[in-house]
Structure 1
Amino acid sequence: MNKIWRYTQYGYLVVAVVLLIDAATRWSADRSQAYFSIAFAIFMLLIFLFKRNFRKKIERRNNQ
């Protein structure tokens, strides 16, 4: 189960990259949507960092 969580956390990074690409394509047409995509990409990056930190903490606790 830990291997599944180890790889699924990178899905958040994939979504963040897709949102940044979406923001780049919408930048000239609709800036408010581009800002929303950038904000959501930052949120997804923060979720990735939180999940990675939490998973590592649990692994350290289980190895003791």
Structure 2
Amino acid sequence: MRRANLVRRYRLLDINGRTVGTGNPAAQRFTIERNGLVAGTYLVELEVENGRIVRKLMLD
């Protein structure tokens, strides 16, 4: 059985690598508010218990 990772911290980066959002949800599920973000491609970096996960996010 696979155990879900607890997200300790997240960073949202724009396509140029600038941090445009951060948070410390300490949860397995959470919501990142889109306030002020323009349409485009972003990276979401999640710091979890055993490392980090990076995923691409595209906003319309």
TM range (shorter): under 0.3
Task: Report the TM-score, using the length of structure 2 for normalisation.
Answer: 0.21
Structure whose residues are more often helix by fraction: 1
Normalised TM-score (structure 1): 0.20
